[in-house]
Structure 1
């Protein structure tokens, strides 16, 4: 007889060596397992060690979660994240149920609990992402933007049945870091020439130097407002130097390394473009591109090409054993995808951005 499924809060341990850390460690393992099952890319999910600092620091984002237990086994998890700005309306969900436990009621029970949690905290916009292999299927889903398409899967069937709508498709691309870097150097040189003397390249490793924190805060705040987001209603973020310090501490935890390549607008002194590359403690692992943005009023000067190429070249020296870098971009963000394609990124999976208004 199958044991009943119970939904319990995800405990956040002080450390991963704590006796109460088993649930959090299992949550980290579930992320890797589900990413592997869905798209064959387990490293898309961060490890428990990489996530724990963000769960401890609730200043900017509150992370909550629940585990589905069946006897002594953990058969699924869901997390709900809340931006902490005043007036924030959105709750971001992540549902993790392995294939062997799908259609057993686990996914429904977890989603019910997550939606109830969001309502109780006064959020009326729910957002969740689905992962997809780069394949054609009998039923392909197209977002309202008209850009991109993804194959229907069990998760999307569940979301559609519960009133979520596909708002955007993102492309997950990878670059072979072992390829000849000469084309990157040539492309960077051409882009710098095109940008002209009004723009100067700057680079650093996190933590951000004190003299750059205010300017970096300004450009980080624009990722929500300036990046294409379809009809996803993201809450505006409030950034200052103190928030940069907090973010730096989270991103450099657990032995992670982050490199930033940015462009400063010389006449104003503002940082107007940036690119971030991150790798975990295993320096031979997959590199992840985090934020990349060119401020809207400075587009058309090849600044995106500059920060991407400069950081990839810099990365060859910082993490020479990493063989590939992974990045996500909205399908309608053709300028950034054009850059990626020109320097050798190829699609390996896709993500669907789903939204439901309560």
Structure 2
């Protein structure tokens, strides 16, 4: 198998890559949510301050049989890399996935990355999967287990009214504000500071993670890339004076307006106990629904052990549909990237 990086300016090749990626990601997964072609392309064309992102194709006899993604953080977590791979159904169990993984690991090692991150989805009622077994046999360790939940829209108004009413007496000292699209300058810095803690304030289990950089320029760049991807998003903040103390964000895209995503929700540690998580989620869900009436399904992920946030989501009407394992592998250090041999045994 010949593996090469895909040039995003080569539309034909990138579309072939995306077709293989989406087919592999959606195989036997009724709730799969692969990125759309335009979203991938826009991400690749904007190198970005926060990360370097590349996609890779594995070809056998002119057929693309495997794909890979590699993400290298640039402002924080600079010894880590995130990897994702897929093999076209019907071409599995020929060693193509193993070859792609070896290639991505080599690229990460050559970039000085020694902590590798991966995510694997599998059925909600299963304890493992072939993909999860594949990863653990190659040294990846599950650090935490998440659950994907979905909410059918429109949400139940009585449930939203009840949650908002129960929360209201506890957050009278705070102001709730909702925004569509890029945040105004007067709140973006405080938002960036709190948002940077998402990776370490949410449950992480045994995962090794650092807080993200609160770089406002990087955040503004991310907003521009989202717009180029055809995405739109709604943010609700809780403020005490000028300080953002709670946040939540939902997003959708012009490519799949019926689908939307609960991105991040976080309450500052110093301001917990005021029902701010429930307050901002209810307010944001309502604001989002007004701006995006075509949305029909919300997707969200929570750590199984995050009982507080799971409880709020269940009160909103979310139901579990799939599991997600977050894995890491610690490697020995840099090594040169090489093209793996063709079709090694699995």
Fold-level match, TM-score > 0.5? yes
Deviation at 1:38, TM superposition (A): 4.1
Q: CA RMSD in A?
A: 1.6
Q: Which runs of 4+ in 1 moved over 4 A?
A: none
Q: What are the residue-to-residue correspondences of 1:176-325 with 2, within 5 Å?
A: 176-197=152-173, 199-266=174-241, 269-282=242-255, 284-325=257-298
- Matched-pair contact (CA < 8 Å) for 1:29–1:47: no
CA distances 1:137-182 after superposition (whole Å, capped 9, x unpaired)? xxx3xxxxxxxxxxx2221121111111111111100011124323
Q: What are the residue-to-residue correspondences of 1:108-119 with 2, within 5 Å?
A: 108-119=98-109
Q: Which one scores higher on RCO, CA 8 angstroms, separation ≥ 6?
A: 2
- Stretches of structure 2 lacking an aligned partner (at least 5 in a row): 332-346
- Structure 2 residue aligned with 1:35, among 13, 25, 30? 25
Matched, 1:48 2:9: no
Q: What are the residue-to-residue correspondences of 1:27-106 with 2, within 5 Å?
A: 27-42=17-32, 44-55=33-44, 56-85=46-75, 88-106=78-96
1:168 — aligned with what? 144
- Structure 1 pair 29/307, CA: closer, same or farther in 2 (3 Å)? farther
- Structure 1 pair 315/154, CA: closer, same or farther in 2 (3 Å)? same
- The CA distance in 2 between the partners of 1:50 and 1:307, in whole Å, is 27
1:355 — aligned with what? 328
2:130 — aligned with what? 154
SS for the counterpart of 1:235 is coil
Deviation at 1:255, TM superposition (A): 2.4
CA distances 1:259-309 after superposition (whole Å, capped 9, x unpaired)? 00111123xx21111111111104642111111111222222111101111
- The CA distance in 2 between the partners of 1:193 and 1:34, in whole Å, is 48
1:334 — aligned with what? 307
- Structure 1 pair 283/97, CA: closer, same or farther in 2 (3 Å)? closer
- Structure 1 residue aligned with 2:6, among 4, 10, 13? 10
Q: What is the aligned length?
A: 330
Matched, 1:132 2:122: yes
Deviation at 1:77, TM superposition (A): 0.6
- Stretches of structure 1 lacking an aligned partner (at least 5 in a row): 14-19, 141-151
Once the two structures are overlaid, the 10-residue window that deviates more, 21-30 or 327-336, is 21-30
- The CA distance in 1 between the partners of 2:76 and 2:169, in whole Å, is 43
- Matched-pair contact (CA < 8 Å) for 1:217–1:243: no
- The CA distance in 2 between the partners of 1:38 and 1:121, in whole Å, is 34
SS for the counterpart of 1:159 is helix
SS for the counterpart of 2:90 is helix
